[in-house]
Structure formats: C-alpha cells, structure tokens
Structure 1
Amino acid sequence: MLMHLQVRNFAVVRQLTVDFQAGMTAITGETGAGKSIALDALGLCLGDRAETDSIRTDADKAEVIASFHLRPESPAEVWLTENELRDDEEPDHCVLRRLITREGRSKAWINGYPVNVAQLKQLAPLLVNIHGQHEHQLLSKPEHQLDILDAYARHSDVLKEVASAYQHWYQLRKQQKQALLQQEERQSRAQLVRYQVEELDQFALREGEYPELEQQHNRLSNSSALQEDSQFALNALYEGEHNNAYSLVQAALSRLEEQLSIDPQLQPAVKLLSEASVQIEEAARELRLYSDNVEIDDELLNQTERRVTQAVQLARKHQLDPDELPALHQRLSQELADLEAAEAELASSDEQVQAAAQQYRKLAAKLSKQRQRAAQELSEQISASMRALNMPHGRFVIAVEHQEQAPATRLGTDAVVFQVTTNPGQPLQPLAKVASGGELSRISLAIQVITAAQLTTPTLMFDEVDVGVSGATAATVGKLLRQLGKNNQVICVTHLPQVAALAHQQLRVDKVTDGESTETSMVPLDHDNRVIELARLLGGDTITATTKANATELLATAS
C-alpha cells in the first residue's frame, strides 16, 4: 500500500509531505484547491507523461517520491525480484522517484536504481489502480466495456492464449499472401535456375578440375616438342655417341683421380665430379622415362580442348572465371532446392492456415464462455448496486454475443454490450441510450467499486467518482468505498460529506495565495477538524452550530 508521498515544486505545490494509512482515506477541500494534486503527482511517479508546464513557475525542476509497503510474494515484489530492482535491506518496501527538469529531461528510479519510464509503467498497475472522475464517459465505448468485463473475469491466461493464437494465424496468413504475390516471380526464377543447373549437371565440372584441364591441354598440344627436347637432352647428357656430358665428366674424373696421389688438394673437385656423374645418370634415367611416357594423342587432345572451350563459354555466360563454375553449380543447386521447397510449403500453407484458424476459433469460443459466466455474475452485482444507489427498478445486463465467423482480433470475436433499464416496463437498451448523466455516474461508480474488489492491486484511488450523487445515495457510495477498504487501501477525492465521513482517515487540501504566488498544502485532520471540514461540506463557507451537529452525527454514524 501507499505509505508516503513527497512532492516538490509540482504544479502549485512547493513542498508537500503526506503519510497514508490503511483502510479508506478521503481527500477533501474547496473547489479549485487542488484536491487531485496528490493523484496527479503520484501518476507522474507511476510513469505518466512528464510535462514541463507541471513544474512550479518559480522552480527549475519538480520531484515526486512515493513509498509503498509490499505484501510478501505480492505481484509487485515478484516483479521487483525478477527485474533485480528489489531493496534487499527492506524487501517489503518499494520507493519510486521521478524528476523532471525545465529543459524537458526526465529521470526515474526504483529503490535507488535508475530505470526508464517503460519500467515504471510495468510496475504501476501492480501497486496502484486509479479510477478517474470522467471514467463514466468511457462506458459507452465497446472496447472499454470489454476491458471492464475481462478485468472482472480475471482470465488473463486465456486472453494471452487467444492473442498468441491470433498472432500465429495472422503471421501464417501474411506469409501465405506474400508467397502468393511472389509465386509468379519465384516460378520464373525457378525455371531459369533449373535450366542452368541442368546445364551444369550435364557438364559436371568438379572442384579443381579446370586447372588440371588447362595443364593437360597445354601438355598434349606441345607433346611433340616435349618429346623431341627431352630426347635431345638425353642424348646430350648420356646417350649421344660423341662427347655426351656423362662421358666427358667420366674422362675428367678419371684423369684427376690419377693425380690425387700427387696432390690431395684435388679431392674436392674429384668429389664434385663424382657426384655430378651420379646426377647425370639420374637425370638421364628420368629423361628416358619421361620421353617414353610423353603422350601424342590427338583424340585426347581434341577431347580436352572441347572441355576447356565449354568451360570458358559457360564461365563467360555467368560472368565469372572457369574455375568458379563448381561453386556456382553448388549455389544454383541450393537456390533451386529452396525455390522448390517454397513451392511445396505454399502448397501446404492452406492446411497450416486452416489449422491455425481452427485453433484460434476454439480458444475464442473458450474465452467467450468465460466471459458469459463473468457477465452473468457482474450483471447481477451491478443490478444490486444500482438498486442500492437509488435506482430501485434498475436492471443491468451484459450481453455477450459470440460471433464465430466474425473477423478475428487479439481479443476474440465477442460483441459485448452493456444494457440497462431504470424504469418499470422499460426494455433493456444500450447503456448510452438510456441512462441520464446522474444515472450513468452512479452505474459507473457501481462498476468501478465492484471491479476494483476483484483486483489484486493493493491501492485503489478514486478521483471524484461520486460526481452527480447526493443524499442517501452518497451515504451508500461511502459505505461501498469503506467496505472496499477492508481488503484494499482506498484513497478517494470527494466533495460529499457522506462519503468523507465514512473514511478512516481524512486529508484536507488548502490553497493559499499572497497575490503573487499560490501554494497548495494537504494536512491530516483530527476528529475536531474533521467535524469542521464536514460542516463546511454540508453548509458551505458558513459553518453553523447546526452544520457542526450534523457533521458530528455523520462521524458518529460512520464509527
């Protein structure tokens, strides 16, 4: 629950510190005093838009700090733990702080940790639920009526399932539509790629084959010269009849070996010539083997030349080098497989879309049944509250029409209509067509009180939701809010003495001006000051003994 609120330089507030208690708290004050200032300031702490014009005129920044007490294992405590924002020293406390500057900058903290506004908005509904004075104006809107029913039914899990099923169906339909739009282009591309793959399949150039073909073609086209030159070298080195290299080296070696005994310094030369002789023999052996194996094969040369030519032509067609053809072949084969898979997927997409549609309709029907059960319960409770709020013949019905073939939405396919009758013999009609302004306010109040009781939010705030109510009806409103305060902290801004008297705590808002500046304050009232404030609410600025006696009686009755 909200324990403490500190406001500085916000609107007409210079400095405001308020402590709140459990139960029901009433905030009263003269018209224009700024009774809703605390709610507005708290709204800033809960993530409302930061406006620079909300900063006090003579200040350069505004600051709001709100402190809450948390129940163990409450949704707010769980959220803080999951987001690593819990105060480990005081895990049952939560402190929100918001700062806005004249330059338009905004900063926020949770338990001293810097956060963004989105995080404040996530935490806000787990701490406070605010009901505004103009909320009854939303009652005629179908989407708001649906929100009220869903909030009462508390079936967020089913709503998530329906939204998820809708999203899945929507995505499948979107993909199918996109695939259909691209089908002609895809089929045209597949036809071209299929032809190219077949051509490359037929040619079947393997990785690394083209450099081998080039080398083979070069060797075959020069085979005669290779054989002739290798034979010439063989003759010059070894097999020639006259003066071949081997015989000359051997002759030189023989002479020098004879001279070794005379001069050993010839040994290095003798050694090198001996090695050269061996090398010449080895070279001759390799040349003989090479010469014997040189191919002069015109048919193989023609085959190789044709394959090289084909490779060059294919490469030119695809604007790349011949040795890149195998990689291109692989890429085009994969593209063709993907295109064919897309066609197959499109063929089966109808079944997928139909299955997703059936799942969505099934969940939407489940949601509708839950809404219908909740609608019956809520209708009976609102009807009873209407009668208690001086509408003795009031009857309220929430009609839930499940339209199985209606266009799908994230919220299902139900049409929800709030219907009401306030006079005997009058048929049920849509709320906006039947209820007067005062009746609409009372019905709205009944709905807000009843639905608020279903909420797990610890603090409920009502901003002049009792507008248009007076007399005995006002007392009933007060009783409803006080009863709500048994399980929740209830803070209400009111102008009705019957409502304020039933509060466990009362705060008075005062506005003081010196002609140049204005300040608003909020003070808790003891018993005697509550009597005076209630007397003012009963009789206006002139407080008489009669109004004070009436105020004392109101307080006594409430106690």
Structure 2
Amino acid sequence: MLSQLTVRNFAVVKSLDIEFHNGMTAITGETGAGKSIALDALSLCLGSRADANWVRPGQEKAEISAVFTLAADSPAYQWLISNEFDTDEDCVLRRVIQRDGRSKAWINGTPVPLSQQKSLAPLLVNIHGQHEHQLLLKEDHQLSLLDSYTRHQHLLDKVQEDYRNWASVEKQYQHYQQQKEELEAQRQLLEYQVNELNEFALTDGEFEELDQKHKRLSNSKVLLEAGVFALNALYEGEHNNAAGLVQSASQRLEEAAEMDTALTPINQLLQQAKVHIEEAALELRQYQDDLELDPGELQIVEERLSTAINLAKKHQIPGAELSQQHKKLISELNSLEQAGEHAEQLDEERQQARKTYRDSAQKLSNSREQAAKELSQKISQSMHELNMPHGRFVIQVEHDASARATRLGTDQVDFLVTTNPGQPIQSLNKVASGGELSRISLAIQVMTATQKTVPTMMFDEVDVGVSGPTAAIVGSMLQKLGKTSQVICVTHLPQVAAKAHHQLQVSKTTDGAETETAVTALSNEQRVIELARLLGGDKVTDMAKANAKELLAS
C-alpha cells in the first residue's frame, strides 16, 4: 500500500508530506484548491510524462517521492527481486523534474529509465479517473475491463504467443510466395545449366590434362624432330656425338692420371656425365616410341577442349574452374529444390499455427463469455443500488472464428444497457445520459476493482454527476472496497467523504504574490467542520454540523 507521499516545489505545492493508511481515505477541499494534486504528483512517480510547467515558479526543480509498503508475496515485491533491486519492506519511487523539462527517475535509490517505473506502476496502484466514463464508450476499453475482471492472463498470454508464432510463420510463407516466380525462373536456369554440364561431364583436373594433351598432339612433328636431333647429338650420331666425345676424353685423362692423380676426380666427373648422357638417350628413345601422331585423336581432344572453353566463356570463368562451377551449380539447384520443400513445410506449419491460434482464441472467448454473464449480473445489481431500479446491464461477447487475428483474440465485446422500463437494451453510447453513464461507470469500476491484485486503488472524482441518496451508496461501495484494499478517493460529496476511514483536506492560500497548497489530515472534530462545509457551503451552520455528525455516525 501507499504509506507516504513527499512533494517539493510541484505546481502550487511548495512542500507536502502526506501519510496514508489502510482502508478508505477521502481527499476533499474547496473547488480549485487542487484536490487532485496528490494524484498528479504520484502519477509522475509512476512514470507519467513530465512537463516543465509542473515546476513551481521561481524554483529549479520539482521532486516527488512515494513510499509503498509491500508484502513479500506481492507481485510488486517479486518484480523488484526479478529486476535485481534492493528490497526490504518498502519500495521507494522518486522523480525529479528540471526547469528545462528534463527528468530523472529512481527505484529504491537506483537510477532507472522511465520505462521501468512504468513497468512497475500497475503492480502498485490502479488509478480510476473522473473521465473514465468517456473511455467506457470505446470498444477496446470495454474489452480491457472485461479481461481485467476475468483474470485469465494465462489465456491472454497464450493467445499472444500463438499470434506471434502464426504471424512469424505466415510472414516467412508470404515472403516465399512473393519470391516464387523469381525462384522458379532461377531453378529452371540452374536445371538447364546443370544438365548441360552433366552431359559434358568434365572431371576434376581434366581441363588441364586436355590442354596439355592438345599442345603435345598439335606439335608432335616438332617434338619428334627435336627428339631425333637431341638423340643424335647425344648418342647416335655417326661423328662427334656427346657420348663418344666424353668417352674419348675420359680415356685420355685416365692414362694421364697415372702420371698425376689430381686428374682422377675430373675423370670421375666425366664418367658420371657419360652415365647421364646414356640415361638421357634412353629416355629420348622411349619418348619417341610413345609420341602419338594420330590425327583422329587430336581432333577428339580439340573438340572436347573447345567445348570446355565455350562452356567456361558462357559462365564467365576460366576453363580450369569449369568443374568447380559445375559442383557449385548443383549445390544451388539442390538448395532451391529444398526451398520448395521448405515452402510446403511452411504451409503445413502456418496451417497448424492458425489452428493453434484459433483454438486459443476460442478458449479465451469462452472464458470471457462466462465472466461476462457474472459481471453483467453484478453491474446490474449495482445499478439498482445506484438509483437505477430498472437498469439492466449486459456484456455481449461475439466470437468470430474467421475474423482477422489480433493479439487479443477475435472477440467483439459490446456493453449493452437499458435504464427504463420498456426501453430496449442497446449499446451504452446510444442509451445512457451523462449522469447515468457516470453511475454505470462507477459500478463497473468498483466491480472490476474487486478483482485487482493491486494493493492501492485511487478514484479521482468518479462520483461526478451523483448526488443525494445515491452518493451515500457510492460511499458505501468504496468503503466496502476499502476493507480489502487501500482506497484513496478524491471527492466533492459529503456523503462519500463521510464513509471514509480517514480524511485529508486540501486548502489553498495566497499572500498576493505566491499561492500555496497544503494537505491536512483531519481529526473527527475537523471532519465534522469539513463535511458541514461540503453540505452547506462556506457558511458552516449548526444544522450543517448536525447533519455532518449524522453522516459520520451512519
């Protein structure tokens, strides 16, 4: 619950320190005194948007802090733990607004982005504004009220999860469908290219082999002549071949080495040279025997090499890379074919995701329909208590299994009402007058508030348009709500204020140069005076005091 609110230099407030207690607290005061100032200040601690105009004139900054006492099993306490904030019995929210409009926020002394304060706020306080009856006419707000009463968050979470999953799969499928024609054209081209290369069937390294073989076959005559010349020069020539000359030189040196042994190593080199020459001659004979002079084979090699070169040009690559290109195209074709199979799988997944979402939306709708009947009866009863004896309220839930999917399901929720005998039940915005709408709104707020797990509820002049005996009933409703939750109510009605367990008075003073607002906790005697003022105006009579005492006693 909210235990303390501290406000410094906020609007017309110079300094406020307000303590709050369990039960129902009424905030009253003269018109224009700023009864809602505490709620406005608290809203800033809960993450609402800051405005430089909130800073008191002549000051550099406004500062607000709110202290909440938490139970260890409360959602707010668990939020603090999960977000790694220091935790004890209190949660302290602080907000500072600079003159230039900049602001800073803290949770338990730790600086935080405003989004974190906003995230925590719904677990601490639920604020019902005086204009909420206007929101009541909007379909999305009606749906939100029904869901807050039903407390089926697990079903809402499941629908949202299934919606995200379906949307994700659908997006992938639609993307593939948009690319389908282009992908099919790519597949056909790849299939043609792969078939062409399959038919040619060039193996790894074959292009280099063809190129080398072509050079040898096309130059076989030159190669043969070079081999014959070299063989004659080395070994087979009739006169002065290399082998004979080396042999002669070796014999002469061998004889001379008997006179000078220094020639022996030289002679050994010549003998080795002779061996190498003989081996080279042997290799040349073998080369000549193996040299092919078949014109038919040359033609075959030329045709295959030419085809390989033309295919390489078509793919704009060197001929030596044609085999690798072939493998690459096969891989790309396989990927496209697998993409087609994946599209079929995606289609199955989207159909399943759609069914899962529709099933979840149906369960959510069933829960809403059941809760709608219960809440309709309770609101109808509250309307009777609020001086609408013939009022009947119906929450209509229409489920369309084929409707456009949303994160909140596929239900159409409509609040229907009739307030007079013989009047047909119709949509709320077509039937209720302003005063009736305020009372219906209050009945709905009180009924839905009983389902909240939030420890503190604030009502900002939700009794607008209510008076007389009905006002006392409104006060009783809020008082009853205050038995299970902390209720803080800004009101101008004495019948409502009298039902509160505690009462705060807002007053405004001015010295002609400055205006200041103060908030005072009233004793029982002071409450009598304040209630008498609310009953009779500025002039507090003995009769007004007597009526005030009677209100408090009741």
For 1:325, the equivalent position in structure 2 comes to 322
For 2:98, the equivalent position in structure 1 comes to 101
For 1:211, the equivalent position in structure 2 comes to 208
For 1:82, the equivalent position in structure 2 comes to 82
Q: Which amino acid aligns with 2:21?
A: Q
Residue 445 of structure 1: how far off its partner (Å): 0.9
Q: Which amino acid aligns with 1:37?
A: I
Counterpart of 2:310 (choices 313, 319, 333) is 313
For 2:73, the equivalent position in structure 1 comes to 73
Counterpart of 1:200 (choices 190, 197, 201) is 197
Give the Cα separation in 1 of the matches to 2:89 and 2:280.
95
Give the Cα separation in 1 of the matches to 2:208 and 2:264.
48
Of residues 387-396 and 218-227 in structure 1, the stretch that sits farther from structure 2 once superposed is 218-227
Residue 309 of structure 1: how far off its partner (Å): 1.8
For 1:38, the equivalent position in structure 2 comes to 38
Of residues 428-437 and 106-115 in structure 1, the stretch that sits farther from structure 2 once superposed is 106-115
Q: Which runs of 5 or more residues in structure 2 are unaligned? A: none
Q: 1:283 to 1:479 in 2, by over 3 A?
A: farther
User: 1:402-481, aligned counterparts within 5 Å?
Assistant: 402-481=399-478
Q: Is 1:531 paired with 2:520? A: no
Give the Cα separation in 2 of the matches to 1:469 and 1:173.
52
Residue 269 of structure 1: how far off its partner (Å): 4.2
Counterpart of 1:505 (choices 453, 478, 502) is 502
Give the Cα separation in 1 of the matches to 2:69 and 2:296.
97
Q: Secondary structure at the match of 1:4?
A: strand
Q: Secondary structure at the match of 1:25?
A: strand
Q: Which amino acid aligns with 2:393?
A: F
For 1:393, the equivalent position in structure 2 comes to 390
Q: 1:313 to 1:486 in 2, by over 3 A?
A: same
Q: Is 1:141 paired with 2:103? A: no
For 1:28, the equivalent position in structure 2 comes to 28
For 1:228, the equivalent position in structure 2 comes to 225
For 1:381, the equivalent position in structure 2 comes to 378
User: 1:104-143, aligned counterparts within 5 Å?
Assistant: 104-143=101-140
Q: 1:238 to 1:57 in 2, by over 3 A?
A: farther
Q: Secondary structure at the match of 2:322?
A: helix
Q: Secondary structure at the match of 2:421?
A: coil
Q: Which runs of 5 or more residues in structure 1 are unaligned? A: none
Counterpart of 2:367 (choices 370, 394, 398) is 370
Of residues 480-489 and 244-253 in structure 1, the stretch that sits farther from structure 2 once superposed is 244-253
Q: Secondary structure at the match of 2:439?
A: helix
Of residues 548-557 and 364-373 in structure 1, the stretch that sits farther from structure 2 once superposed is 548-557
Give the Cα separation in 2 of the matches to 1:205 and 1:60.
83
Determine what percentage of the aligned residue pairs are the same residue.
60
Q: Is 1:4 paired with 2:4? A: yes
User: 1:245-324, aligned counterparts within 5 Å?
Assistant: 245-256=242-253, 266=263, 269=266, 272-273=269-270, 275-324=272-321
Residue 310 of structure 1: how far off its partner (Å): 1.8
Q: Secondary structure at the match of 2:506?
A: strand
Q: 1:282 to 1:5 in 2, by over 3 A?
A: farther
RMSD between aligned residues: 2.9
Tell me the TM-score normalised to structure 1 length: 0.89
Q: Secondary structure at the match of 1:408?
A: coil
For 2:54, the equivalent position in structure 1 comes to 54
Q: Deviations over 1:396-437 (max 9, x none)?
A: 221222233334333223222212222334332222222221
Q: Which amino acid aligns with 1:394?
A: G
Counterpart of 1:484 (choices 481, 486, 497) is 481
Q: Which amino acid aligns with 2:111?
A: P
Q: Deviations over 1:341-377 (max 9, x none)?
A: 4445556766555444433333222222111110111
Give the Cα separation in 2 of the matches to 1:285 and 1:106.
98
Of residues 365-374 and 215-224 in structure 1, the stretch that sits farther from structure 2 once superposed is 215-224
Tell me the TM-score normalised to structure 2 length: 0.89
Give the Cα separation in 2 of the matches to 1:221 and 1:380.
104
Residue 238 of structure 1: how far off its partner (Å): 4.3
Q: Deviations over 1:48-74 (max 9, x none)?
A: 223333333323433332232222132
Q: Secondary structure at the match of 2:513?
A: coil
Of residues 467-476 and 345-354 in structure 1, the stretch that sits farther from structure 2 once superposed is 345-354
